[in-house]
Amino acid sequence: MTEPLGEAVRARLRAPLIWYVGTVFADGAPQVSPMWVDLEGEDELTFNTSVGRVKEENLRRDPRVYLSHADADNPFDRVQISGEVVRFIEGEEAHHRMDRLAQKYLGSERFEWLMPGERRVSVIVRPLKVRHIVGVERFRPGGPVPAP
């Protein structure tokens, strides 16, 4: 079931903030990369990578993805999004989408760091669980009980 992002989370996704994107290696180990992320419509999100990168390979094999962002001024104000990849966009459209991310994050018209032969791929993610936590996170039910 898709969980809505909420306006505070959408505002962070609209801003040029770095998000940490986690994928899963075939052996179950985590892989995390700092990424440029944006909204895709109202309740999905997108980021861009290259065909053949470890993120892309991991996500094609296992569509589970985890995104995290902490406010630079208050790292105890953070957002965590568990989601699943719902589609990949390749070809010219993926390159145009990378240019839009470069405009958002760098203010430049085009993404200037393409390597010869590089093929971009946009990843579209449906959020399944969204958490916006401010302050110290409470224990889950059944967690430690305060001493008397």
**Token reading at 67:** 């995104």
For the chain, give the percent of residues with pLDDT over 70: 91
Q: Which residue has the higher pLDDT, 38 or 144?
A: 38
pLDDT of 101-148, one tens digit each? 999 999 888 887 766 888 999 999 999 999 988 877 676 777 676 666
- Which of 125, 143, 116 lies closest to 23 in space, CA to CA? 125
CB 70 within 8 Å of CB 108? no
Q: pTM for this one?
A: 0.87
- Using CA atoms, how far apart are residues 105 and 114, in angstroms rounded to an integer? 16
- Using CA atoms, how far apart are residues 129 and 5, in angstroms rounded to an integer? 9
pLDDT of 73-95, one tens digit each? 988 889 999 999 999 999 999 99
Domains and their CATH numbers in the chain = 7-134 (2.30.110.10)
